[in-house]
Chains A and B, each alone.
Chain A
Amino acid sequence: MSLIRITSPHAHRPGNTGSVMLTVLMATLPGLAAMTFFFGWGTLIQVLWGSLLAIALEAACVKLRQRPVSFYLTDYSALVTAVLIGLALPPFAPWWVMTVGIIVAIIIAKQLYGGMGSNPFNPAMVAYALLLVSFPIQMTSWAGPFVMNGDGWAVVSLGDTLSAIFGTAGAAVDAHTMATPLDIMRHRGGFTTEEMWVKDALLANGIGAWHAVSAAYFMGGVFLLYKKIFTWHTPVAMLASLTLLATLSFLLMPDQYPDPFFHLTTGATMLGAFFIATDPVTSATSNKGKLWFGAGIGLLVFVIRTWGNYPDAVAFAILLMNLCAPFIDQYTQPRSYGHAKPNRGMK
């Protein structure tokens, strides 16, 4: 056998980018299960449909860019994007909403920037934000959790779900759609939060489903932390800053602001904290930078939720902080061995 000349090191830890992405996919399973359990088949169908589209589009793009297709598909990053969009969309959103989302995510937000690793913004969040701005009705028509309808599992049958998503008849589903807790809080009119907790049926009885889903995402996140896919800095910073702000505001004016637990367990807070803000490509680099990055997201989430026009804010907050990540990187370089203090800025 002829000898080869190659650069050191000659040893390598097993695993590659593909296995990292697979681990992330695995960590989304509890969340997916919870969503399906509480909100019906919709989410599962969205995820499957999105994955199919994402793989096809990614393959087409890679082919167009004259790159080896199988090599790029096996990093599974397109799949992760599709699953994240699927989890974020309302379960009964029509099929074309997902289609537009995937096209935006894969082609515009990712491949046009040069493919995986080169995108400045998280593709899933770009797609989500665009959909939210473009199709506000479809994007805010959430199904109520099944507990609200009292009939257990078969609230919306698989067939009805399919026809709601892929057909034109949304009637079977329309009856079940309702606002999310964040919507309710946002558009509560002149009522205080306490009044809302009592007045609104969803808040009074159905909030548990949202809590459960958040808990599932949290579990997935902890699993990823354990697997050392990312470090604790971003999620902890984000949740901490959000909690801090929510607590402060709640303590100051309890009747005007919801409590911190509400902030943490509703909407996309947990999904964002563990699965989207931690996207390494678009987040800050150093540990210190990640702390700033996470804290910034937390702050923006609170600000937009409280004073902004949209009920939820995770997507916007993350996109805005994506924009800041390179800047943060410049000012949060770690102190290297043998240096008294870290370098700062460009030069």
Chain B
Amino acid sequence: MKNTIRVHQFHGGIHPPENKKQSTGAPISLAPLPSRIILPLQQHIGLPADPIVKVGDRVLKGQRVAEAIGRISANIHASISGTVVDIGPHPVPHVSGMDADCLVIESDGQDEWIEHQGLPDYTQLAKPELIEYIRQAGVAGMGGAGFPTDVKLHLGDDHIVNTLIINAAECEPYITADDMLMRERADEILGGIEIIAHLLKPLHIMVGIEDNKPQAIRALHDALDKSHLNLDIVITPTKYPSGGEKQLIKLLTGVEVPSGKIPADVGIVCQNVGTTTAVYRAVILGEPLISRIMTVTGESANHKQNYEVRIGTPIADLLNHSGVDRAQMQRLIIGGPMMGITVTNEQIPVIKTTNCLIAASIHEMPPQPPAQACIRCGMCEQVCPAELLPQQLYWFAKGKEFDKARHHNLFDCIECGACSYVCPSNIPLVQYYRFAKAEIRKEDDEQRKADHARLRFEARLARLERDKIEKEERRKQRAIEAAAAQAAKKDAAFNKAASPATNNPTDAGVPDLKQLKSNAAIARTKLRKAEKALANAQDKGLDGIETLQATLKQLQLKSELAEKAYTEAQQAPAKSAAAPETDLKQLKSNAAIARTKLKKAEKQLAAAEAGGEGDIDALKAQVVALQAKSADAEKAYQAADSGTVSPVAIDTSALEAEIATLQGKVDKAENAWKAAVESGSPAAEKMAAGVEKLKEKLTGLQAELTQARSAVQPAATVDTSALDTEIATLQGKVDKAENAWKAAVESGSPAAEKMAAGVEKLKEKLTGLQAELTQARSAVQPAATVDTSALDAEITTLQGKVDKAENAWKAAVESGSPAADKMAAGVEKLKEKLKGLQAELTQAKGHLETNAEGKAEEAPAIDLKALKQQVSIMRTKLKKAEKQLAELPEGEDNASLMAEIEALRARHDAAKASFDAAEADKIAAAASEGIDLKQLKIDAALARAAVTKAERALSKAEQESKQSLETELLSIRAKADKLNATLERFSD
């Protein structure tokens, strides 16, 4: 047969062994009905289809089971009748071997068609409708890529299509599906071409076919004689990859598709022969794409031939049907040997693009020998059909010089594999290119993301700036208004200030304020949204910007009004609340001062330790004292705070928690002691004593608990401010004295020791006063409630201090420091204090319990805030200490730090426990009124977080400290469990 058209040439190409004869011996036969089919939702390029059936639905053969989403997508139809049994991830034909969403249909064996019929005369239909008809049938390119056919058929709308090329080259070795299709169903192919030609109206139709398919050529000619179609069957020399779209276009027309463009841009549309039959069947017979012709071949297959296979058939069925020797099969390839993918799972289904299945033996496709060095022989360049420099690309990909690879037109590579085929060094070139392409795409993607992130970041900064300016303006506005309001309401304010603090000033203001606040917030949010929408619209040049702008203005107005209302409302109560707060403020600043001092001292200590100076012990003692002071001040403040605001409800659970902590400590101490005994440490005896003491404490606490449970007592109000002031003055004195002492120490003055004694005395006085204050407070609280939690915390602090002091003392003893004696005395003192406090606590609790029992219901706990604050302060301290620990290497310091952490943690726990307890109370009180459990949930979450944090710390800690941390973790976990249990209890 002679070509009437000049065949052009493309560069390169190879002639691998064809291996096509094996599978052309037998005619196409129907593959057996599969017992179940697996339909991947993505068998085509574009978006995956969306399932429109449910598990359990019965579907008929040809029924649409998943519909196309978006323009580039394809419908999927059931290829058997049966029941949908699963929609979910299954292995699919993909190189990665990963799963993707599939529809699984179990056959009912009846193979029952859904009602269908073709179009009697498709030329009567408008083109868009006809294309829609083809789209409904789910036709996608069957050559390999699976591009939805309807999209290609629409190309006539915005391109001038001169030439329609039917790709019948089938250049890959082994594959004969198109060959056999042409031999047996040439009329269907021509029918399909007719439909496509009707839609695209090309000037010229060409069928490109390789000269190794003489029978197919003859069959096409025979069919053409009977048809009125005007087309050229162009025979091309056999050469791989002449079936590549771009290569075939070059062969038949001499035109090159510009890089980055599609053939339609040069007036050409390509369709595979398989696709033409699918179009024919869809239009003339009304059958959707539910089956295709595919080759099953390879040395280990017994019957090498072509089958008509239903889409979704697992390849295991086909392998069984063609008698594949599994023992011999070493490589299973879907597609051809040049571009096909290997699969390892036989349950992978046949999809619309599956044209061949090669069950290769090891002799047929021996494993690739290891790659040798590239000798730049240039053979790859000679065969590259895209006229690239494959070995240069290889060097660039290998060296990750992706810019250069791109510059060398990496993205024009069609991954045909010709270069790998000829490479004498057996380098997996194609994989290098795929890797490089993927990396470049990823980099591009990241660059895009980075640019986007930059935009968002800048937008955020701008927003924050704007907010700041607005806030500033509002503040100014407020100041002016406040001044005016002050003048107007002077008398009223005066009256209010004169009235006793017991009046709850916020009562009237609160609901109003909240409402206003939320109003303002809502308005703001709306405004922001509108702004965003506007920006978006402006970006994209959408319509309706003016409307949006108008809305925005309106919203701005509203927002401003709301905020103004809110601010105004806020000022009124703030002022009225000012009077009772004075006392509190004083206390607060006291606490702050104490804290700052403490920090400074700590810093000094650290510096001293680092510098190895002599006065470390003294400094340490100082720090301890300061810590105590700070804690006291805080306590005082909190106590006052809670006292002025409201009564307190107390629960014995605080005590319980304390006991639990103590027990933990006892256990730990015992462990430590045992370890010490085992290692024969001299400290063992001391430790034993310590353990004893702890145990005693525990017993005492337990007794306390019992007592607390039974006793409740009323109390009266007293103004503690006098005491407070006294304390503050004293603190000032202490500070001054301390400073003087420090100066003395630094200058090496002999008066230093005396001074230290003076400071001690002052401090004692201070502590005494503070204790008095607490006592007074506990005795005279307005709502007859004692803030035992403060006491609790104080006790815990003290305990921590005691522990720390003991540790310090021990260290001092070990190092033979002369300060040891002093320290011992200090420890003793501290212990006494502790005992005193504990006694106090017992007393206070006694008062309280009586009171609480009587009034608990009408006076729910409101000192939660203070408690919470306390907890968070503790937490911060704990965290800091932990961090310090983590930063420190092994050694002695580690131990002391650990001890510190223990103490802090104990404090934290205690605070937490009291907080939790208070909250639990609140919830218990509120439970009857049906208040929500959110707060409780939050607590539980916090506890859980504590557990995870502790776990993390544990994993970080060194081996030695592991044990103690584990105990710690256990106790925290117990707490978390308890909280969770509480949560559950209240949740029902």
Contacts and interface: CB of A to CB of B under 8 A. Distances in A.
A117 interface: yes
Interface size classification for chain B = 35 or more
Contacts of A63: none
A17 B375 contact: yes
A10 B385 CA distance: 18
Contact of B421 (A11, A117, A333, A340): A11
A84 to B, nearest CB: 15
Contacts of B97: 5
A287 B384 CA distance: 13
A335 B382 CA distance: 13
A285 B392 contact: yes
B386 A336 contact: yes
A12 B368 CA distance: 8
B690 interface: no
A329 B395 CA distance: 13
Interface string A1-13: 1111111111111
B388 interface: yes
A8 B339 contact: yes
A338 B338 contact: no
Interface in B360-402: 360, 362, 365, 367-370, 372-379, 381-382, 385-389, 391-392
Interface hub of A13, A281, A285, A334 (most chain B Cβ within 10 A): A13
B387 A336 contact: yes
Interface in A1-34: 1-13, 15-17, 19-20
Q: A-side binding surface: helix, strand, loop or mixed?
A: loop
B68 interface: no
A230 B381 CA distance: 11
Given A117-B376, A335-B387, A9 B257 contact: no
Given A1-B328, A116-B373, A11 B389 contact: no
Given A8-B340, A285-B381, A347-B403, A117 B246 contact: no
A11 B17 contact: yes
A13 to B, nearest CB: 5
Interface in B337-364: 337-344, 358, 360, 362
B412 A285 contact: no
Contacts of A118: 373
A280 B360 contact: no
B407 interface: yes
B696 to A, nearest CB: 70
A57 B408 CA distance: 38
A286 interface: yes
Given A10-B333, A116-B373, A336 B388 contact: yes
A94 interface: no
A115 interface: yes
A338 B257 contact: yes
Given A11-B421, A12-B426, A336-B412, A4 B375 contact: no
- Interface centre among A2, A7, A10, by most B CB within 10 Å? A10
Contacts of B95: 5, 7
A259 interface: no
A9 B344 CA distance: 16
B329 interface: yes
B709 to A, nearest CB: 71
A287 B404 CA distance: 20
A280 B339 CA distance: 28
A337 B389 CA distance: 12
Contacts of B369: 16
B329 A1 contact: yes
Given A3-B330, A285-B389, A343 B375 contact: no
B374 A10 contact: no
Interface string A214-241: 0000000000000011110000000000
A338 B389 contact: no
B341 A8 contact: yes
* Contact-size category for A: 35 or more
Contact of B389 (A5, A115, A286): A286
Contacts of B333: 10
A281 B392 CA distance: 12
Contacts of B374: 117
B565 to A, nearest CB: 62
Contacts of A339: 258-259, 409, 412
Across the A-B interface, the 4 shortest Cβ-Cβ residue pairs: A9-B417, A117-B373, A338-B259, A7-B431
B430 A7 contact: yes
A71 interface: yes
Given A71-B370, A333-B408, A336-B412, A19 B378 contact: no
Contacts of B417: 8-9
B599 interface: no
Contacts of A335: 387
B428 interface: yes
A11 B172 CA distance: 11
Given A286-B381, A329-B392, A338-B260, 17 more contacts: A7-B431, A8-B342, A11-B421, A20-B424, A117-B425, A118-B373, A228-B379, A230-B377, A280-B375, A285-B392, A333-B408, A334-B388, A338-B257, A338-B259, A338-B412, A346-B407, A347-B407
Contacts of A255: none
A11 B375 contact: no
Given A3-B342, A286-B381, A338-B259, A9 B337 contact: yes
B16 A13 contact: yes
A13 B421 contact: yes
20 contacts: A1-B328, A3-B343, A7-B434, A8-B417, A8-B430, A9-B430, A10-B338, A10-B360, A11-B421, A13-B14, A13-B16, A228-B382, A230-B377, A280-B378, A285-B389, A337-B246, A337-B386, A338-B259, A338-B261, A343-B409
A36 B95 CA distance: 57
B77 to A, nearest CB: 30
A336 B409 CA distance: 7
A19, A229, A280, A337 — which one has the most chain B CB atoms within 10 A of its CB? A337
A338 B341 CA distance: 27
A5 B360 contact: no
Interface in A31-82: 71, 75, 77
A11 B16 contact: yes
B10 interface: yes
